[in-house]
Structure formats: C-alpha cells, structure tokens
Amino acid sequence: MDDFSEKLAVITGGANGMGRELAIQLAAEGCDVAICDLSEDDMANTAAHIREHSADIRITTHVADVGSEEAILAFRDQVMEQHDTDHVELVFNNAGISGGGSLFDSSREAWDRTFNIVWGGVYWGTRAFLPLLTQAEEGHLINTSSVNGFWASLGPERPHTAYSAAKFAVKGFTEALIADLRMHAPHVGVSVVMPGHIGTKIVESSMRHGVIGDLAAEEKALLELAAGDFEANALTTAADAATIILDGVRANQWRILVGPDAVALDEVVRRIPQDVYGPDGLEEIMAAFGATGETVLDK
C-alpha cells in the first residue's frame, strides 16, 4: 500500500504521541481517520488540528479502553456506523502504557492492567478489526511492540516484566500472522513496529491511569519529573517515528525498527544473544547506545 489517500485508518491511542502523529500525517495524505483513547479533551485537540490542516478529511474520536474487549468491539461498531463502512484499510494497534515492573514489588492490579492494555489491546484490536481489513481491496495491520519486545530489560536493577512480556507477545503474534494472512487474506499486509526511546507521554499516561502503583510523595515527584524528561530527551520525536512507520508500511516491511537506539540495540542482541542480560552484554549495550547519544539504562 503505497498510497493512503481515500482510505480509512483506525488508530488506538490516537490522542497523543505516535498515535496522534500517525493520524495527522495520514490525514495530510488524504486518509480518513478514526482514533480511540481515554482522554476526550486530548482527542478533541488532535481532531481540531486535523480539521484545521486537512479540512476534507473525516476524523472521528471514540472513548475506549483497549484493555477491555467489550470496549474495542463497541469502538469497531461506532467506526462502522459513523464512517458508514463495512471495511477499513489500515489498523494501527498503537495504544500502550507502562507499569507492573516486578512480580515481587508491583501490585497484581498494576501488572495485569499493563499486560491487558499492551498485549490485550493488540489481540482484541486485531480480532475486532480483522474482518473489516479483509473486506477491503487492500489492507495493512500495524502492531506496536518495542525494543523491549526483543530485549526484556531496562538494566540490571530495573524489573520490567509486565511491559516486556506483553511486547514480546505482540512481536510473536504479529510474526505468526504473516503466514496466517498469507494463507487466508493475502491482500492484507502486517507489520510489527519496534520503537526505541520516542518522545511520547507514556510515563505521564501510565501515572494518570494508575498502573505505576502506590508511591510515596517523594517518589511521585521524581516520577513526574522523569515523565517530562522522557519526552524531552528522546532521540526520536513522535512525528519522526510516525514518518518511519508509514514509510515502512509503504515498503511492506513486516519489521519496522524506529530510532537509532532501536537499530543499535537490535544489532547487539542479534550478535551476542546469550550475553545481553549479563555484565558483558550490558557493557556492549551501553557502548552501542553511547554511539547514538544516549544510554537505554538511563531511560
């Protein structure tokens, strides 16, 4: 699919970050857009921007919690009704949050909430919209994993279990869909997106939706500061990430690495897979990220 004009794209987590930028860039190319998120105000801002700069585009916003299959099915039904359609050409399962880092220290509720959104949102989103994709003359499914979908760590003393487990699941699920779609819907492509450190509000959003866990006042203040730094200090902006993703879809790439840090980490993990969680591997990873201008362990 090298032309997005006169198509319809569905984007989860479309209010901010990569989802917002995907919606803006697709609309600029003549693609109608349906976004879902939890914040009506943030979605309204995204929709207003699109209407101002892409006046002929139809943009609809939908409040939906992708951690709920029922909510995703309702989102799908609203898209069909409001866009008066029985098909969509593009589905971006993009929504995500962080949290549930440790099986020992994190609450069960925080762990399950993160996993249900990051993995469940992709699975249920695919289940819900796959029939609409197959109804289109051509379609493409894009699932957002992460560098933590092939390296389950943020460093030796920072547990990252729920998010990493979910992102590994997204990566494996998407790769398995390559053969499934080839057999049953060869006109539908599929891509797994693996971003590095992108300038988004994922930390802020995770705090807002209560998956970080109970924090002391001092810890909360530090995390709020980190949330701003996470977006400001990223090597790749959300807009640049969206451009990389859309270019990858045009090229029908099943595997889309986003950011120089993602490329660097991928190279190390492939070269020394047995060592990436030990001291020698961490030294290699730090050296690789030093060459890109940051260290993943400092995220």
Catalytic site includes residue 123: no
Q: Classify the C-alpha dihedral 218-223-224-230 as positive or negative.
A: positive
Q: What is the DSSP secondary structure assignment for residue 84, as one 8-state letter? A: T
Active-site residue (options: 163, 168, 173, 289): 163
Strand partners for 189: 140
Burial of 3 (0-12, 13-18, 19+ CB in 10 A): exposed
Read out DSSP for 103-153? TTTS-HHHHHHHHIIIIIHHHHHHHHHHHHHHHSSSEEEEEE--GGGTS--
Identify the helix (H) or strand (E) that includes residue 95.
Answer: none
d(CA 69, CA 174): 18
Residue given tokens 């460093």 in the structure block: 155
Nearest-angstrom CA–CA distance, 34 and 78: 9
Q: Alpha-carbon distance 251 to 111, whole Å? A: 36
Plot region of 206 (φ>0 → left; ψ -120 to 50 → alpha; else → beta)? alpha
Closest CA to 198 of 20, 2, 9, 4: 20
Cβ atoms of 110 and 117 closer than 8 Å: no
Q: What residues contact 22, with CB distance under 8 A and at least 6 apart?
A: 9, 11, 14, 92, 94, 242, 245, 246
| Catalytic residue numbers, as ranges | 163
